[in-house]
């Protein structure tokens, strides 16, 4: 079922960097981006994985993820301090932003719970209500020094919204787990949100496959980051001239249920990608598959 009275939904995918080790400034940046998307009429905004708290790219200084950078106890404490509690003031402020700009919102955060940190995605409705959250269960080797895996869920909820249909999704590498994806398909997902840190061509292919497989729109958001965004963690003293080298090229993309690329992928800067989703396509494409 599409949103009542709506044949299309205006959506935005944000491709932007965290302000590393500075969550207050990241929240200011988030509101600027939300304001920009809302001014374009967007009803749903999707942010990248770990947008609040920061993806731990600073553990490695090259794209292969093989050259480890020293990361001491003080650094761990700073990273932990950048994470958020789901019942804390940072998440409450994000709820207020969703309500202020009347947008549904999906955002990746680094969640702090007890002694553990998690890569978590949070869903808000356009009234600012936190509808739910999900922790990433498949943690990569490069993430494991800081993040813990969430429990593999027995079910994944969809969130029915008044302005953007049924939304849900998975974080980054969890999207490669067919059983998790099928939970969302079986419940009739319409807009599949995939915050990620993966900018490879294979990722784009995965998003296209998911859109066709699930007869749904796919919105994938990744950060665009340069070494300068990560301060000393990606820059050796003798390599300061490489400070503007790209460490995360982005690749954010919006895909239709037909597998058509509607926006993106973008690889060369921070962008706000917006487009209108014709919700009738889900019904028509689903009927086509059922008839063949």
Q: Please list the helix, strand and coil fractions of the chain in percent, rounded to the nearest 5, in that order.
A: 35, 30, 40
pTM of the model: 0.90
- Does 93 score more than 90 pLDDT? yes
Number of C-beta neighbours around residue 246 at 10 A: 16
Q: Could you give all domains of the chain from N- to C-terminal order, each with its CATH number?
A: 8-291 (3.60.110.10)
Question: Given the DSSP bridges, would you call strands 246-249 and 224-226 parallel, antiparallel or unpaired?
Answer: antiparallel
- Does 86 score more than 50 pLDDT? yes
- pLDDT per residue as tens digits for the range 180-238: 999 999 999 999 999 999 999 899 999 999 999 999 999 999 999 888 887 655 545 55
Average pLDDT over residues 77-87: 95
Marked catalytic residue, from 49, 90, 111, 143: 49
- In the residue annotation, 186 being an active-site residue is answered as no
Residue 79: predicted pLDDT: 92
Residue 254, H or E segment = strand 252-255
192's torsion region: left (phi>0), alpha (psi -120 to 50) or beta? beta
């Amino acid at each position: 079922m599409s949103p009542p009275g709506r044949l299309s939904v205006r959506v935005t995918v944000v491709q932007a960097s965290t302000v590393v080790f500075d969550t207050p400034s990241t929240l200011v940046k988030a509101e600027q981006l939300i304001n920009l998307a809302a001014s374009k009429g967007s009803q749903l905004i999707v942010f990248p994985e770990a947008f609040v708290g920061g993806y731990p790219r600073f553990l490695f200084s090259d794209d292969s993820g093989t050259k480890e950078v020293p990361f001491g106890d003080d650094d761990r404490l700073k990273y932990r301090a950048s994470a958020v509690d789901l019942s804390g003031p940072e998440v409450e402020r994000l709820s207020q932003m969703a309500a202020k700009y009347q947008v549904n919102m999906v955002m990746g955060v680094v969640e702090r719970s007890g002694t553990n940190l998690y890569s978590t995605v949070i869903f808000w409705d356009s009234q600012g209500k936190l509808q739910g959250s999900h922790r990433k269960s498949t943690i990569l080797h490069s993430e494991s020094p800081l993040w813990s895996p969430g429990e593999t869920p027995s079910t994944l909820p969809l969130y029915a919204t008044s302005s953007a249909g049924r939304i849900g999704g998975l974080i980054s590498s969890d999207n490669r787990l067919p059983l998790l994806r099928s939970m969302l398909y079986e419940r009739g997902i319409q807009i599949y949100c995939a915050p990620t840190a993966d900018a490879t061509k294979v990722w784009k292919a995965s998003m296209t496959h998911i859109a066709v497989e699930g007869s749904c729109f796919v919105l994938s958001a990744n950060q665009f980051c340069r070494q300068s965004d990560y301060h000393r963690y990606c820059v050796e003293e003798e390599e300061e001239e490489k400070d503007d080298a790209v460490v995360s090229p982005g690749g954010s993309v919006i895909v239709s249920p037909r597998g058509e690329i509607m926006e993106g992928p973008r690889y060369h800067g921070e962008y706000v990608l917006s487009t209108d989703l014709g919700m009738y396509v889900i019904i028509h494409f689903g009927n086509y598959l059922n008839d063949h």
